[in-house]
Structure 1
Amino acid sequence: MVDEAIQLLDKMIDKGITPNIVTYSSLLQGLCNFGRWKDAIDLINEMLDHKIYLDVITFNILVDAFCKEGKVKEAEGIVKIMMQRNISPNVVTYTALVDGYCLVGQIDKARKLFDSMPGLDYDVVIYSTMLHGLFGAHRWDDGLKLFKDMQFQQLIPNLVTYNTLLNGLCMNKQIVEAFSFLHVMEDKGVHPDITTYSILIHGLCKDGKLEIAQNLFSSLPSKGLQPSAQIYTTIIGSLCQKGLVEEAKCLLIEMEESGCVLDSVTFNVCIQGLLKRKLLDEAKTFLDEMYRRGFLLDSATVSLLLDRLQYEGRDSIPLETISKLLPKI
């Protein structure tokens, strides 16, 4: 598709039609989306050759694309070129850089840039991005301070911000704090979505609070929400880890009947839970069903299987059964 667009661009130029900045920017975005960095840089040079004025939006496409790939040095280089051409970075530019630094684990550098953004108004997006980075680095106390600072700056958190906050708290096992913010967002008129509840249910299950997670799961239809495959998988996996195999099987049936697609992820999660409980016979039943459906094992499941076989003996689950579920090389 991108190659066709490049050919069309070449034809336009051959016919004496000079593409405008919008056309070039759209093609640049496509090249970046496919990781075709050399072609993207070549296109920038072509734009310069045709005296096309590169604006901040065009440069931001490159900065954002490089940052999403973890290529922050390259992104910094683009920002330097911008400034050499007297094009001032805007809040979108800095948001991309903050996100890039967080992605490669340079949280302090991200925070320093966030705190020193020159002469620009902060928005909800850059706050949410910095929040995500802090929570991902397990600096949840700094995350909470930043969230409070955001409100002090009279910026109104949106659904994405609250979901970022709840996810960060749950990741750091601050479940009670997460639920307190759930009530805050509801009081502020921000309606939780299925992602919100997926975050909370996953956090509860990870914290060993399966019963509370099940109650929250059961309440979703009354809130007008349909459980997602991810939520079903989380609950089913936790049931398997608790050894509640029949309940897990019933929920698998319900999941399929509700229209959610059962895939290899769900089965791998189930088998991992059963193996952790040393329920090899039950795990073998799921392995057989995986084979019947044409699913494959992931590396985490294979590792657990091999570990269990060392203790239980190779006859417990035949290697032939496992080999049938491995990707073909």
Structure 2
Amino acid sequence: MSLKSALIFPRFLSNCCLHYHLIRCFSAYPRFDFSRIVEPDDAIDEFRNMLRMHPLPSVIDFTKLLSSVVKMQQFTLALHMFDKMLQRNAPVDHYTLSVTSYSSLMDGYCKMGRIDEVCLSFSMIRANGLERDVVSYSIMLEAIFGDGRCEEGLKLFKEMEALQVYLDTATYGILLHGLCNARRIDEALSMLYTMENKGCLPDVVIYTILISALCEEGRIGEAKNLMVQMVIKGCLPDSVTYNIYVQALLKRNKMDDVILVLKEMTARGGCTLGATTFTMLIEPLRREGKDSVLFDLVKKLLPKKL
């Protein structure tokens, strides 16, 4: 996608219906039924038909088509279509720009791994006199940390704090995940207490990120203590949390601890064993036999699909 497209695309998608002339209401232009577009090929066929028309359909019609494509998460196709519109000199540069438009574009680029374009879109928010919000910052953080640029991510986070951008649990989750991936677990743990002190209560996702990182580093005792701590604070582990912890115990042949955790999962209800955990339990099950406590617990915790 060209630089011109990257700069103009958000303008095009944002609120164009409020800014385009209403001549369509009483004109002889063909009307389109975009509700029938359910596959990318449907959108491509419709787009080609529209490009063959003279004069071209209105920008409103092109926008509706692109919206359908974006809803299918076909971001590359949407950007390709937009490039084609620019080549046909469609009037796509006179529309109200919004942070939401940029954030949508950034999210699409981020999902495609196009980090440079995420950064460009993020910089254009401020360049156009707009204020970045927690959504745009969070997407930028996810892109930077996902690219392994931990220091840049921390710098951006400090900028958010300095500008008093509201930090929600999702934003902290991105930060903690980035720190843990960089094996900076102690900083991540410190950030957990920071968010609590600021009144942002960690949820099960936050705790699970940290517990997983601790288990990967072999810090099983700390992972156990964090699980106890989260329960005390009213946040119960879910199946994902338990499976991560059980797998870490199995890797270290701590079968007594495994039994205790499985009992806790059974007593709590609603928890199941994942396929990976079950695979790791096959050998202990064979060793313990069908009359064992382990066999009985695993049987109760298996989902129907297993």
Q: TM over 0.5: same fold? A: yes
Which of 54, 60, 72 is residue 89 of structure 1 equivalent to? 60
1:314 aligns with 2:281: no
Q: How far has the Cα of 1:162 moved from its partner?
A: 0.5
Q: 1:98 to 1:171 in 2, by over 3 A?
A: farther
Cα deviation digits, residues 259-311 of structure 1 (max 9, x gap)? 2233323212322343455545433332222122223435xx3224414645x
Q: How far has the Cα of 1:201 moved from its partner?
A: 0.8
Counterpart position of 1:323:
299
1:267 aligns with 2:238: no
1:111 aligns with 2:79: yes
Write the letter of the residue equivalent to 2:287. Answer: D
Cα deviation digits, residues 212-257 of structure 1 (max 9, x gap)? 1001101112222222221122222222333333332332232122
Structure 2 CA distance, aligned partners of 1:127 and 1:91? 19
**1:282 alignment partner, SS class:** helix
Listed as ranges, the gaps of 5+ residues in structure 2 are 1-32
**1:162 alignment partner, SS class:** helix
**What is the alpha-carbon root mean square deviation over aligned residues?**
3.7
Q: Structure 1 vs Structure 2: percent identity of aligned residues? A: 27
Listed as ranges, the gaps of 5+ residues in structure 1 are 1-58
1:229 aligns with 2:222: no
1:139 aligns with 2:106: no
Counterpart position of 2:152:
177
Structure 2 CA distance, aligned partners of 1:93 and 1:271? 49
**2:301 alignment partner, SS class:** coil
Cα deviation digits, residues 158-201 of structure 1 (max 9, x gap)? 11111111122223322212111112233344232222111111
Counterpart position of 1:257:
232
Structure 2 CA distance, aligned partners of 1:213 and 1:266? 17
Paired residues in the alignment total 260
Whether the 8 Å contact between 1:82 and 1:88 is mirrored in structure 2 is: no
Structure 2 CA distance, aligned partners of 1:189 and 1:94? 38
Q: How far has the Cα of 1:71 moved from its partner?
A: 4.1
Q: 1:316 to 1:223 in 2, by over 3 A?
A: farther
Structure 2 CA distance, aligned partners of 1:78 and 1:276? 55
1:1-329 to structure 2, matched below 5 A, reads: 71-73=39-41, 88-89=59-60, 93=64, 96-97=67-68, 99-100=70-71, 103-104=73-74, 107-113=75-81, 118=90, 119-120=92-93, 121=95, 122-275=97-250, 279-298=254-273, 301-307=274-280, 309=282, 314-315=286-287, 318-328=294-304
> Which 4+ runs in 1 deviate beyond 6 A?
76-87
Whether the 8 Å contact between 1:240 and 1:270 is mirrored in structure 2 is: yes
